[in-house]
Structure 1
Amino acid sequence: MNSPSDDGYSLEKAKENLNVLRTVEGQVVEAIEAADSEEVLEYLILDQQLDIHHEGGQGVGPIRRAVLRSSKASRELKRTVITRGDDTPESILVPDDVERNARTALRTGKPVVLYGPTGTGKTTFAKQLALRHCVGYSLHTATPSWTAKDIVGGIGPNLSGSRMSSITYHTELGAVTSGVKRTRDFGIPYAVILDEITRADISQIFGPLYTAIENRNQTLIETDEGEAIELDEDLSIICTMNMSDRTVNELDNAITRRFAMVELDEYEDDDRQTLFRDWLDSNLSDIPLVDNDDLLALFEADYDGINNGSEQASRGPIMRFGPMHYRDVTVFLREALQDEELYMDAPAEAVGQAFRTFIVPRLLNSAAFPQIEQIEEHYRALDKSFEMFDLAPAADLASRELDAERRQMGSYEQ
């Protein structure tokens, strides 16, 4: 094989040596590092997909690192390799003003919090926002055990050795500091998404970050190599926060003063119906076992009853609940109604089972006792109103949860 020379690695050399490049990963790295034009990189990565061939469908290995470090690679090519395997949809479905507010907030350099009830598309929009504003992103989902170390890093044991008596310690980067390192190493704008941060103690995990936001020269952590990590202007921080049972006023003032708060809540009727119709058409248009107009009416009645109150159940609103959950219902039905071993012979029941699987559990997850009562009444009423469907499975699940809550309350009283 012809080795890359000081004159650069040409497209002709890449084509001539393709068989070797497919065999030897290191030669691909050398070819990328010595490429004399972006055309060479596009041939290796876009046409021949040698990064996928050697490194698989996702992750950042030596070949992709070489592309990310290359001065010949365009921003789009870098985005291609760093997001291999990413399935984020291109079409943004959130209301226009939400998108504009979020994009503007990111341009100010402030961290952004997308907040609102479950099912409003916050996580998907966070990824879309990251891909439009940056070259790549990493996604981290909060847990109750998170500490500041998960955000900025800290000291941890080096477990690579075999003898416990010789344990050493090293610096471990957190979600944000790892993002800063990637921004620096590759010279790209990068985003860190912190998903569902209300699962953690926000004041505890963000303490050091608050200080760094106020003073960009504040060192968050120093690596073992002595590199000081501060917030970088090319790093974007995007958080998501479920607010089904909370309001912004209940949050620590520290976050609302330092982060741009972008609400993702109410969809206009036309926008919501467009979402419902698109999901029904894309998943069920070729399946005549259920009527899409009837399903659309059911989705609307369910959504309205949950968010605004149901005339059938003679109750007020149950909780804030987003429209994105109904996409899962249409995908469930698409699979269920094409297989005789599933629900092909029972389409009415399939609808109820879809609601039992994807809608009711998500409502019950954050429901208090009075809301559980409302959920049961709501689905009993819908079952009567929509006789073409069998919504008893959804109502029965709420009923069982209600019985369990009553038994638990009874044990407390005793």
Structure 2
Amino acid sequence: MNNSSDDSYTLDDARDEIGILRRVTDDVVEVIRTAADEEVLEYLIEEEKLDVIHDGKRGLGRVRRAVLESTLASDRLKRVVSLRGDETPEEILVPRDVRRNAKVALEAGKPVVLYGPTGTGKTTFAKQLARETGIGYALNTATPSWTPSDIIGGISPDYTGQSLSYRTKLGCVSEAVQRARRFDVEYGVILDEITRADISKIFGPLYTAIENPHQTIFETDEGETIELDERVNIICTMNMSDRTVNELDNAITRRFAMIELDEYEEDKRRQLFKDWITSHVTDQTDLDENEILRLFERDYEGINHGHEATSQGAIMRFGPMHYRDVAVFLGVGCRDGGEYEYDQTDAVGQAFRTYIVPRLLNSAAFPQVERIAEHYRALNGEFEEFDLSPAAELAERELEQERRQMGSYE
């Protein structure tokens, strides 16, 4: 590999040797390190996409690492390589005050908890927030087996040698700190669905670190100490379908900014429904898109605000994002050659039976189960062009089981 000077690699050099650079990873890394200016990096990454060729569609490979380490690379270019392959929607649909409050909290150095009912787009907004406030992010979904080691770090067995040994292993927050330090960037770490884990247990050491940010929370085998870093934005999501903020350990509400996601503005919610129907239903099926839109609206309103046909109030809080799954199901099932190509009106009820009713029942107490069943009986009567009986029947069966368990089945 040749370059036009002993000190730097120019854009002309890169263009002359692009054939070699497309094949040899070591040469690409060296060019990035010795580039004359950012124009060289932009050519390699944005025009030629050499990071995709050598590192794959996503992930932190050698080429992307070299860009992040380069003093010539702008934050914009670092975002390009950090977020390569990320399909998070660009448009932020949450209410304006939610977005502003979350950004201000992070700028003030507070970790954020995005909480609300299922289907309100908490995870999507968490990713958008991380993208907007940092160079990249890591998404980690909590499990019931999580311990403080998953957050901070711990000791892990190493089977690579001839005998068993133990090494330190970074937790997700410690990894984010290490990455922010190494590349001198703001970096986000998302802890998704934290209510699946024992919050008080997993966050214990983190609580202490938030109160004392200069305190060491972990030390690697190489002697590197990990402390919370102001460049790391911690963003959590929490499904509140079965608990309220008042039921949480007050340690988290004292140390985290609690940002609620609940109702979407009506015009934005309606636009979401329209977009999903246009993308998945309109060209793939013979279903009346206006009636599908009306069904989505009526179902959402009945669940969240009540249904005049049943003279009942709201059943529960339920987000609009669930209806995207219904639209996708209809598009796939009713397209040419699909399972419901010749039974498209039946597909609607099956989609609600598959994606909407189970999610409602999963969070419902007995009185709510009764109202869910009544709600879908009413919808089935209102929308005669669709067969919503599968959704209503599923709710009815759950109601019968609840009655048996309560000893009141007749």
Structure 2 letter corresponding to 1:125: F
Q: Per-residue deviation at 1:6? A: 4.2
Q: Distance in 2 between matches of 1:272 and 1:61?
A: 39
> What does 1:295-314 align with in structure 2 at a 5 Å threshold?
295-314=292-311
Q: 1:204 aligns with which of 187, 201, 204?
A: 201
Q: Does 1:16 align with 2:32?
A: no
Q: Distance in 1 between matches of 2:5 and 2:179?
A: 29
SS at match of 2:189: strand
Structure 1 letter corresponding to 2:148: A
Structure 2 letter corresponding to 1:204: K
Structure 2 letter corresponding to 1:31: V
Deviates more, 1:365-374 or 1:123-132: 365-374
CA contact (8 A) 1:4 1:31 kept: no
Q: Per-residue deviation at 1:404? A: 4.0
Q: Distance in 1 between matches of 2:287 and 2:122?
A: 30
Structure 2 letter corresponding to 1:399: E
CA offsets, 1:284-319, max 9 Å, x none?
Answer: 333562222212221121112211222333433221
Q: Per-residue deviation at 1:381? A: 1.4
Aligned partner of 1:70 in structure 2 is: 70
Aligned partner of 2:104 in structure 1 is: 104
Q: Per-residue deviation at 1:36? A: 1.1
CA offsets, 1:116-152, max 9 Å, x none?
Answer: 0000000000000110110100000001111111100
Aligned partner of 1:148 in structure 2 is: 148
SS at match of 1:335: helix
Q: Percent identity?
A: 65
Q: Distance in 2 between matches of 1:220 and 1:134?
A: 22
Structure 1 letter corresponding to 2:76: E
Q: Does 1:381 align with 2:378?
A: yes
Q: Distance in 1 between matches of 2:141 and 2:157?
A: 23
Q: 1:356 aligns with which of 343, 353, 356?
A: 353
> What does 1:311-322 align with in structure 2 at a 5 Å threshold?
311-322=308-319
> What does 1:56-135 align with in structure 2 at a 5 Å threshold?
56-135=56-135
User: What is the root-mean-square deviation in Å for CA atoms of aligned residues?
Assistant: 1.9
Q: Distance in 2 between matches of 1:318 and 1:5?
A: 72
Q: 2:266 aligns with which of 264, 269, 276?
A: 269
Aligned partner of 1:324 in structure 2 is: 321
Q: Distance in 1 between matches of 2:268 and 2:340?
A: 31
Q: Distance in 2 between matches of 1:126 and 1:82?
A: 16
- Cα 1:357–1:5 change in 2 (3 A) is farther
Structure 1 letter corresponding to 2:286: L
SS at match of 1:191: strand
Structure 1 letter corresponding to 2:345: A
Q: Distance in 1 between matches of 2:6 and 2:329?
A: 57
CA contact (8 A) 2:285 2:334 kept: no
Deviates more, 1:325-334 or 1:38-47: 325-334
Structure 2 letter corresponding to 1:276: F
Aligned partner of 2:340 in structure 1 is: 343
Aligned partner of 2:175 in structure 1 is: 178
Give the alignment's TM-score, normalised by structure 2. Answer: 0.95
Q: 1:167 aligns with which of 164, 177, 180?
A: 164
Deviates more, 1:362-371 or 1:47-56: 362-371
CA offsets, 1:38-65, max 9 Å, x none?
Answer: 1111111111111111121011111110
CA offsets, 1:231-269, max 9 Å, x none?
Answer: 111100000001112211111111111111110001232
Q: Distance in 2 between matches of 1:193 and 1:119?
A: 17
SS at match of 2:203: helix
Q: Per-residue deviation at 1:68? A: 0.6
Q: Distance in 2 between matches of 1:95 and 1:361?
A: 27
Q: Distance in 1 between matches of 2:22 and 2:386?
A: 55
Structure 2 letter corresponding to 1:396: E
Q: Distance in 2 between matches of 1:318 and 1:142?
A: 28
Q: Does 1:390 align with 2:402?
A: no
CA contact (8 A) 2:176 2:188 kept: yes
SS at match of 1:370: helix
Structure 2 letter corresponding to 1:246: R
Aligned partner of 2:54 in structure 1 is: 54
CA contact (8 A) 1:157 1:168 kept: yes
CA contact (8 A) 1:32 1:70 kept: yes
Aligned partner of 2:244 in structure 1 is: 247
How many residues align? The count is 409
SS at match of 1:113: strand
Q: Distance in 2 between matches of 1:41 and 1:317?
A: 55
Q: Distance in 2 between matches of 1:140 and 1:153?
A: 14
Structure 1 letter corresponding to 2:232: L
Q: Distance in 2 between matches of 1:68 and 1:292?
A: 46
Aligned partner of 1:188 in structure 2 is: 185
Structure 1 letter corresponding to 2:298: A
CA contact (8 A) 2:332 2:338 kept: no
CA contact (8 A) 1:6 1:34 kept: no
CA contact (8 A) 2:325 2:355 kept: yes
Deviates more, 1:342-351 or 1:311-320: 311-320
Q: Distance in 2 between matches of 1:10 and 1:158?
A: 44
Q: Distance in 2 between matches of 1:119 and 1:302?
A: 14
- Cα 1:188–1:5 change in 2 (3 A) is farther
CA offsets, 1:126-182, max 9 Å, x none?
Answer: 0001101101000000011111111001111112124xxx32211110010000001
Structure 1 letter corresponding to 2:351: A
Q: Distance in 2 between matches of 1:241 and 1:4?
A: 55
